[in-house]
Amino acid sequence: MDVGKGVEVAAPAGTDLAGLSLLFYDGTSGNLYATLPLTGIIDHEQQGFGARWFSMPFIQNGAAIPYLIGEADAIALVPPCTNAVQFISYERVVLAGDGQLAGSSSTDIGIWEPTNTETNMSLQVIGSSIEASAFSWDGPSVASPENLNAGQVIPQDADGDGMPSAWEFENFWNFTNGLPGEDTDLDGFSNLEEYIADTIPTNPESFFHISSIPCTGAPTIVFYTSTGRVYGVDVSTNLPGRRMGKRGVKPYRKRGGAMSVPDSNTVGHSKYRANVCLP
């Protein structure tokens, strides 16, 4: 007797699942035998993605001998009144005979659980992508309800725009909403430049700049830094000019907080420019 039956749904973190449903189809008749409305918000587990587990004790098991008897079963993830987000089956293709997907054919995942499978195992997708179609099915493998699968990897920069998915999710609530060349907060710096500086791209008062230069004594250039960035200061009467060093060490690495860089070699009036880049 199977135990712990259910289906896990993965999506971008913050996705509200209300309105979506899981449909369960019998492979022999093609008829819908159960509907499970979904609720809840997808959590943030990895690079702006997460997963939620939904218990369903009555999922049908397919055939006793897969592919030989010909019985199969299918599961669909659907929004209201439209085509399925995903329609999958195990032990062969299923043609939906009724319900929202009547006339639609499933995609066979190509694997199944043998009758002697341990109770803490599941069939899972593995691979590195943000698109369901790019993953492959594997298992049985150790189950991890409420968590992305061990072999399910979300790329650091899912849309390849130079800004990590986790950073985009934190600032734009989606891994594709932030456009690298766009200045979302109109502070003069693009979203990509704000990522490089580790400033907030939706706050016009958050941008990388020199915060102060005392007007008396030897000039000391003060600016605020962030963890995991490399900093430097240019000085010249006509920029670009020489790079200032501190005890011969340049560029500067900082773990956050204010940085003060003195210029003991200044002659007359000078111009200063602070720089920040990724390591």
Tell me the mean pLDDT in the region 9-17.
90
CB neighbour list of residue 208: distance below 8 Å, 6 or more residues apart: 189, 193, 197, 199, 223, 224, 274, 276
CA dist 261 and 219 (Å) reads 8
Q: Tokens 């990590």 identify what position? A: 164
240 upstream amide cis, omega within 30 of 0: yes
> Which band of pLDDT confidence, cut at 50, 70 and 90, is reported for residue 218?
confident
Q: What is the pLDDT of residue 186?
A: 94
Tell me the mean pLDDT in the region 179-204.
94
CB distance 179 to 150 below 8 Å: no
The domain segmentation of the chain, as residue ranges, is 6-153, 210-277
> Residue 146, exposed/middle/buried by CB under 10 A (0-12, 13-18, 19+)?
exposed
In percent, the amount of the chain with pLDDT more than 90 equals 48
Q: Please indicate whether residue 188 or residue 213 has the higher confidence score (pLDDT).
A: 188
Give the global pTM. 0.69
Tell me the mean pLDDT in the region 18-28.
94
Q: What is the pLDDT of residue 64?
A: 60
* The amino acid at 6: G
Lowest mean pLDDT among 4-13, 158-167, 193-202, 235-244: 235-244
CA dist 64 and 72 (Å) reads 10
Q: What is the pLDDT of residue 117?
A: 87
List, for residues 221-267, the tens digit of each pLDDT value.
888 888 889 888 888 766 555 554 433 234 444 456 788 888 877 66
Tell me the mean pLDDT in the region 208-220.
79
> Which band of pLDDT confidence, cut at 50, 70 and 90, is reported for residue 114?
confident
Query: Which contacts (CB < 8 Å, 24+ apart) does range 111-114 have?
Result: 111/137, 111/138, 111/139, 112/62, 112/66, 113/139, 113/140, 114/140
CA dist 215 and 267 (Å) reads 14
Q: What is the pLDDT of residue 36?
A: 97
How many residues are present in the chain?
279
Q: Tokens 């010249």 identify what position? A: 236
CB distance 130 to 155 below 8 Å: yes
CA dist 22 and 56 (Å) reads 10
List, for residues 60-100, the tens digit of each pLDDT value.
887 666 655 557 899 999 998 778 999 999 989 999 999 99
CB distance 265 to 241 below 8 Å: no
Q: What is the pLDDT of residue 247?
A: 30
Q: What is the pLDDT of residue 219?
A: 80
Residue in 223, 221, 228 with CA at minimum distance from that of residue 244: 221
Q: Tokens 């995991």 identify what position? A: 228
